Structure 1
């Protein structure tokens, strides 16, 4: 008698971004898992092999996504905000599996220190706002043994070219009389020399990877000051001062290192925060979603997946330009169906399928107010994932057939 071979359980990877304002990525993945498991149980299917892989695009939520992937708890460090006031920031450090050969990786979100929300109670001062606090977090990561630092930028209140950050790591930025420059991008035009004698001993030997979600250059009409300065309180006069200062900083860096950072794509992110890191440490500028996908091992997780559910708050044309959904599509094998679930879907079926996805579903089950959609996002995500599982399982097994 021949014993029939039982089909293996479906392997489903749940890799959403956060739904801003409603569901962090980890909670979105958990809601998806509840929906998938519930649907399989009701249909009498073997429990699917579910892998949770919450993602982020390098901005808000990246720290939490990486901590979840690493199975690590957040740590705290005392630092300073963009106005120089004390605050406590979170950061993360991965474990180094024995014999893995992988480096100990650290992650920090720059906005934990120099974020705009932390200085919202003050009149914004674009000229003196400093990234010093970001450097304080980085210094703690170096002290903790990080061999690779993933720096996620975005939401910053600063435009100082990373001078504050490197100062916190022990560098001294001096004018022609040998005096330390005052904090902020407003003093960069007076920079004459950079003294690295007191630099943190591990700073240069560490691999730096910087997650950005814009491609703006450091200076000029699309530069850090012109495009992002006004939202940080810069007047038109301030923009001119900051842009001139960043251009001068770039010249000094080029003379000191031979690296010209002026026209590098992404250098304008977070007020030019990466400029000094690229010049002195050969830091890598990476699209945020690609950095996170690599850090969590997304390609390996998807290698033998049958289905991957991804998603975000709004699925539109920007989703296909370096965001999480695109990273999922690029890492998924041809045999794996990719389905997006979002609060709002603004692409037609042809656009979705041309982008490499099988389908995209909205959380909204009917006319809903935004506040209702936000409040019930977890329940709606669970229900939508259950629907997707039912359709996918039926397509795999045929109508009326139970695996």
Structure 2
């Protein structure tokens, strides 16, 4: 039996790569003779760089220290591909888990701009930037500032970093803005929110970053002020991704906003892997109705439906009913008995979930005798060129 294991990361808990390994280990504990192929995925948020690295073994991984979203130094990795494309991930330089404590008004994306500038200096001719998991609501102003944009208030003073400061924005100076690369900038997003309004970046995602009602109102007004001067298309679906970073990079740097899950799935060859598969396992931290709106699991369910491949889903939490397109689902919290227990040792419970799905999805089928879960000789990685 051929099984594709293609999870997203379990945000703040385990990477997509480690999740795939654990699920495969559990599956093979019950069915050691199966051909299990790992295809870790992402949607533009945490794990984007790792998903590209797994799919493209010739990519050169580089790391650097940059100012994090609260100014403290953080380490951010990025990839330089053989064709001159650089793959960046906002979550590594400006992500919410990097904050010591939430600062919805002052958190910024400056570190992302530092990474982008370094990639260009290294010779990148195209940038692919995963936008997700942001700590800030600054419209990408911090990243653009690192790239040379200057933002001034009515008295000609340069604005401090952070989304709240944009409320005082009076003038943009693009004189020293570094040109975007010749082959363009592609933004991978996992949401369809516009920049402002009741469904915008501040209203929808601000509370997750610590913003109360008054702060949401302030940030939404600040983003509106920014959009009034920057132009572009603030109402474009996805413009509100990463606290409006998608909008800022699109309006002032000519970046193109695209759905991240579909783009990454295409790159790593998901359709080809599913074409010969008998089963696919996927997963994420929380499986709910939002999972079906352009995120990894929803995109995979669509692709698996087209290929007529049964799907097993594992999630930390599954608060509601699962759709009919899911053949079986397992909650790590239910397996472990509590949220804390699941978070304390996620890979152990992922392996348990993989074995549980193996038993549920193959009930009644012949399989080889049981062997220890650690013996995973049939485990393979799927790359963009097949199996590597």
Q: Indicate which of 328, 342, 359 corresponds to 1:359.
A: 328
Structure 2-normalised TM-score? Answer: 0.79
Q: Secondary structure at the match of 2:133?
A: coil
Q: State which of 312, 318, 323 in structure 2 corresponds to 1:339.
A: 312
**Segment of structure 1 superposing worse, 212-221 or 363-372:** 363-372
Q: Is the 8 A contact 1:342 1:362 kept in 2?
A: yes
Runs of 5+ consecutive residues of structure 2 not aligned to the other structure: 368-388
Matched, 1:368 2:337: yes
Check whether the contact 1:89–1:137 (CA below 8 A) recurs between aligned residues: no
Q: Structure 1 residue 230: deviation in Å?
A: 4.9
Q: Could you tell me which residue of structure 2 aligns to residue 155 of structure 1? A: 133
Shift of 1:38: 4.3
1:31 has 2:22 as partner: yes
Which residue number in structure 2 is paired with residue 114 of structure 1? 94
Q: CA deviation at 1:19?
A: 3.4
Q: Does 1:80 align with 2:67?
A: yes
Answer yes or no: is 1:222 the counterpart of 2:222. Answer: no
Counterpart among 378, 388, 391 of residue 363 in structure 2 = 391
User: How far apart are residue 53 of structure 1 and its match?
Assistant: 0.2
Aligned residues: CA RMSD: 3.2
Deviation for aligned residue 1:24: 2.5
Task: Tell me: CA distance 1:14–1:167, structure 2 relative to 1, closer, same or farther (3 Å).
Answer: same
Residue by residue over 1:196-246, the C-alpha shift from the partner in whole angstroms, topping out at 9 and shown as x without a partner, is 332324x24243232333333212233333444455455655544433332
Secondary structure of the corresponding residue to residue 391 of structure 1: coil
Q: Partners in 1 of 2:280 and 2:207 — Cα distance?
A: 40
Q: Which residue of 2 aligns with 1:249?
A: 226
Q: How far does residue 165 in structure 1 lie from its aligned partner after superposition? A: 0.7
In 2, Cα distance between equivalents of 1:265 and 1:339: 30
Instruction: Say which one has the larger Rg.
Output: 1
TM-score by structure 1 length? 0.76
Instruction: Call closer, same or farther: CA 1:288–1:393 in 2, change over 3 Å.
Output: farther
Counterpart contact for 1:153–1:212, Cα < 8 Å: yes
On the 8 A contact 1:175/1:191 being kept in 2, the answer is: yes
Deviations 1:35-93 (A, max 9, x none): 4444444xxxxx443321011233233333333333357532121123334x1322221
Following superposition, the deviation at residue 177 of structure 1 comes to 5.8
Give me the whole-angstrom Cα distance separating, in 2, the residues matched to 1:226 and 1:362.
Answer: 29
**Using a 3 Å threshold, how does the CA distance of structure 1 residues 367 and 229 change in structure 2: closer, same or farther?**
closer
Which of 27, 35, 46 in structure 2 is aligned with 1:49? 35
TM-fit CA distance, 1:344? 4.7
SS in 1 for 2:280: strand
Structure 2 residue 178 is matched with structure 1 residue 200: yes
Give a deviation string over 1:279-310, Cα, whole Å, max 9, x none.
Answer: 13432323332233233222232232232122
State the partner residue of 2:248.
276
Mapped partners of 1:181, 1:373: distance in 2: 43
Q: What is the number of residues matched between the two proteins?
A: 362
Q: Is 32-41 or 261-270 further displaced after alignment?
A: 32-41
Give the CA deviation at 1:362: 4.7
| Cα pair distance change 1:157/1:313, threshold 3 Å | closer
CA distance in 2, matches of 1:306, 1:12: 6
Question: What is the alpha-carbon distance in structure 1 between the residues aligned to residue 104 and residue 113 of structure 2?
Answer: 19
